[in-house]
Amino acid sequence: MWTLAQEANWEELKYVISNGDGVDCREALIKIKDAVIGSNKQKGALISHDLVPIILNTCIDQVQSPDRKMDALVILGSFFAGSLAKGSEEQVECLVKQYNIVPYLLKEIMSKDNSKKCVETCLSTLRSIFGHTCAPKENFLANTDVLKHFLRLASAGSSLKTQICITSILVSVCQTNEDQLRLLHAGTLQILSRMICYDNEDIQIPALRCLSCMCYSNRSVADNICVISFQGRSLPDILNSLTSRLFPAEIQLIAARCLTYIYRSGTLPSTDNRISQKALPTLARLCAESFDHSIIASASETLAYLIEIDSELQRTAAITNHLLKSLSDLLQSQDPGVKQAALCCFASLGANDEAIRKRLMDTYGLINAILNGLKDSNSRVKLSAIRCLHSLSRSVQQLRTTFQDYTIWEPLMGIFTTETSIEFLVAVTSTICNLLLEFSPSKEPIINAGIIERLCQYTMHADPSLRLNSIWALMNMSFQSEMYVKTDIINMLGTKRILELVNDSDTRIVMKTLGLLRNLLSKTHHVEIIMRAYSSEVLEAINKLLESDHSSEVKEQAFCIIGNISAEDENGDYIIMNNKIMAHLAVFLFHHDRKLQAGTLFAIYNLVHRKDSWSMEKYSRLSESNIIKNVNELNKKTIRNKAQCEDYISRTLKQIVIQCKHFYPEILQ
C-alpha cells in the first residue's frame, strides 16, 4: 500500500500536481493535505522536495478548480495554524521569507474572483502567519489599498470568522504610532465599536485587543475613542460596562486595559470613576490565584501601568480587594510571567507613598522576594526585581535600615558588573543613584567596590538614559564626599568630559552634570585644581549656558557654580575678572524668575563676603559692572515691597549691603 513515508512518492506527487489531470491532481493534493496536517516531519519533507512553489502556483492559477485551490490553501495554512508545534519556526520562516507567501495570500484576498470561503481561508492563514515573529509586520498598514480592503471585509455583512481574522491581523500589525494613526484615519474605531458590542466573545476579544493596541500611548486615538459612540452609548462607557463580572475574565481584563491606556494617554483623569472605581478594582480582582496564569500576569502588569504615576491610585490599590495579599501569594508562583508581573505591581505600588512602602516591607516580606528575584534565571523576573528595588530605594527609612541589614547592594553590584543589556544597566543604575545618596549606609561599600570607573565609562555611552543615570550617580556620590572620592571622579572622568556633558543635547544630562560640577567645586582644593587647568573652558561653558535658551533650573545651577567658585577661589580672580559673568550677574539681579534672582544673589554674596582679603581695586569691579548700583536699587525695591519678596532674597540682600558698606557707604541710602 502507498505511504508518504516512502521518499520517492514525494517526487511522484510533485509530478502529478505539476502535470496530471484534474482528478489525479486533486487526489495528490488530498494525500499531501492528510499527511502534513499535524506532522512537522512531513511538512519538512514537502519543503525539501520543493513542492511549496507548486502548491503556491496551484493557489493562484486561475485555471485550477475551486476545490483544488482550497486544498492547496489548506496545505499552506497547516504550516501556521495553532501552536508552533504544528509547524516549526524554521518551516514558517522558510515559507514566509524564502517563498514570500504573504503577497500570494494578499493577492488572493484582494481578488474579486475568489469565493468568500477562499478569502476566509487565506485570511485565516494570514492571521496564523502574523502570530509568528518572522512575519513581515513592519509597514504592513502603509499599503492603504490593503487596509481599506481589510476594513471593507470587516463589515457587518461578512462572516464572523472573517471579522475575527481581520481584527486579529490588525492587532499583530499595529506596531508603531504611525500604524495607530493609520487605523484611526481609516475609520477602524467605528468598526471596532460595533464588534465590541456583539454578544460573542470570539469577536469581542480580538476587537478589544485591537482597540487597546490603537490607544496605547497615543493621545490622538484616545481622544477619538472618547467621542465615539455606538447605539447611543459612548465607547468608554461601553468599555466600563464590559469590566462587569457578568463577562468572561478575558473581556473584563482587556476592557480595563483599554481604559487604562486611555487614562495614561492623558485623555481621562485618574479621578474619573471609570478609572478609579471600575478599571482599578477589576484589575485588582483579576490578580487572584483563582484565575488562569495568563489572566493574572496580564492583570498585574496592566494594574502596575495604571497606578505607576499617580499616588492616589496607588493608595486606592493598596486597600482594594485584598490586592497586597494576592500579589504576595503570586510571588510564590512557579510561573515566571506571574512572578514578574507581581513584582512590577509591587514596584508601582511603592513608587511614591512612604506608608505603602513600609507596609510592603513590614507585612509582606517583599525584600526576600526581591533578593530571590535578583538571582532568578529568568531575565524578566530579574529585571522586575531590580525595578521593584528601585521603587523601594526612594525611601530614606528603607535605605538606612532594611537595605543595610540585607546588604542589598551586593547582588545589585553583581548584576551591574556582569549584565550587558541596556535595559538592565538603566534599571540598575537608577537604583544605584539612590543607594549613593549622602545618608545611605550603602554608599561607602559601593564606592569601595570600584563603581566610579564604570560609571565614568558609561557617561560616554550612546544610550541617553544610561548616560543620564551614570552622571546622576556620580553627582549623588560627590555630594559632601571625602577628598579621595572627588579626586577619583575628577581623575577618572576628566574635566574635559565634564565640560562635554555640560553641552549635551539632553537637558536632564546638563542639569546633573552641573550638579556634579557644583559638588566638585565645593572645596578650595578642588576649585583650585579644576580652575587652574580649565578656568577658561569652565567659564566659557557657564557663559554659554546663561546666554542660551535653557530652562531657569539649568541657569540656576550655573549661578550656584559661580557662587561656589567665588567662595572658594583664594588664589585666583576667576569670577571678578570675567567681564561676561559680571555682566550676567548685574542683569539677572532683576530677572522675573525668583530662582534665577536668588541664584544671582547667592553668587554675588559669595563674591563680596571675603572683604578682608580683597583690595579696593577688586571691589571696584563690582561698581564698574553696575552690580553695586543694581544691588542698591533692588534693595530699595525690596524695602518698598516687603510683602511680595521672598525671605531668602531679603536676607541675602541685607548681607550684601552690610558687606559692601565698608567700601560703598552710599549703598545704605
pLDDT the model gives residue 644: 47
What residues are paired with 229 via a beta bridge?
234
CA distance 347 to 326: 15
Start-to-end CA distance of the chain, whole Å, equals 119
* SS3 assignment, position 230: strand
**Percent share of the chain, pLDDT over 90:** 48
pLDDT at 647: 62
Element (H, E) at 236: helix 235-242
Q: Rounded distance, CA 105 to CA 165, Å?
A: 13
DSSP string, 144-168: HHHHHHHHHHTSTTS-HHHHHHHHH
What does CATH list as the number for 393-520?
1.25.10.10
Q: Report the alpha-carbon distance of residue 295 to residue 314 in Å, rounded.
A: 21
Please report which confidence band the pLDDT of residue 653 belongs to, taking 50, 70 and 90 as the band edges. low
Q: Taking 60 as the threshold, does the pLDDT of residue 86 lie above it? A: no
pLDDT in tens, 123-182: 988 998 888 888 889 889 999 999 999 999 999 989 999 999 999 999 999 999 999 999
Q: Strand, coil or helix: what is 233?
A: strand
Model pLDDT, residue 666: 56
Which range has the top average pLDDT, 14-23, 162-171, 531-540?
162-171
Q: What is the average per-residue pLDDT within 389-417?
A: 89
**pLDDT beyond 60 at 361:** yes
The pLDDT, as a whole number, for residue 243 is 97
How do the residues of the chain divide into helix, strand and coil, expressed in percent and rounded to 5? Answer: 70, 0, 25
The DSSP string of 626-644 is: THHHHHHHHHHHHHHTGGG
pLDDT of residue 344 exceeding 90: yes
How many angstroms separate the CA atoms of 45 and 88, rounded?
13
| Residue-level pLDDT at 524 | 66
Q: Note the pLDDT tens digit of each residue in 34-50.
A: 777 767 777 777 777 77
pLDDT at position 629 is 80
- Mean pLDDT, rounded, for 341-368: 89
Query: Band of the pLDDT at 83, cuts 50, 70, 90?
Result: very low
Q: In the predicted model, is pLDDT for residue 558 greater than 80?
A: yes
Mean pLDDT of 462-489: 92
One CATH from 3.40.1400.10, 1.20.210.10, 1.25.10.10, 3.40.50.12280 for 534-669: 1.25.10.10
Of residues 560 and 183, more confidence is placed in 183
Q: Indicate the residue type of 66.
A: P
> pLDDT value at position 152?
95
- State the average pLDDT over residues 381-402: 91
Residue 443: the pLDDT is 93
Asked whether residue 67 carries a pLDDT value surpassing 80, the answer given is no
- Could you read off the pLDDT of 97-110 as tens digits, one per residue? 887 888 888 988 99
- The values of phi and psi at residue 156, to 5°, are -60, -25
Residue 591, by phi and psi: left (phi above 0), alpha (psi -120 to 50) or beta?
Answer: beta
Q: Do domains 393-520 and 534-669 have the same CATH topology?
A: yes
Full-model pTM: 0.83
430: closest CA among 406, 404, 412, 410? 412
Q: What is the pLDDT of residue 663?
A: 61
Mean pLDDT, range 526-539, rounded to an integer: 81
What is the residue extent of each domain of the chain? 1-136, 393-520, 534-669
Backbone angles phi, psi at 234, to 5 degrees: -70, 155
**Separation of alpha carbons 434 and 77, rounded Å:** 54
Percentage of residues in the chain having pLDDT higher than 70? 88
Mean pLDDT throughout 536-565? 88
Give domain 1-136's CATH superfamily.
Answer: Leucine-rich Repeat Variant (1.25.10.10)
Whether pLDDT at 7 is above 50? no
Confidence at 5, pLDDT banded by 50, 70, 90: very low
| 517-541 average pLDDT score | 82
Mean pLDDT estimate for the chain: 86
3 state SS of 569: coil
Q: Which residue has the higher pLDDT, 167 or 549?
A: 167
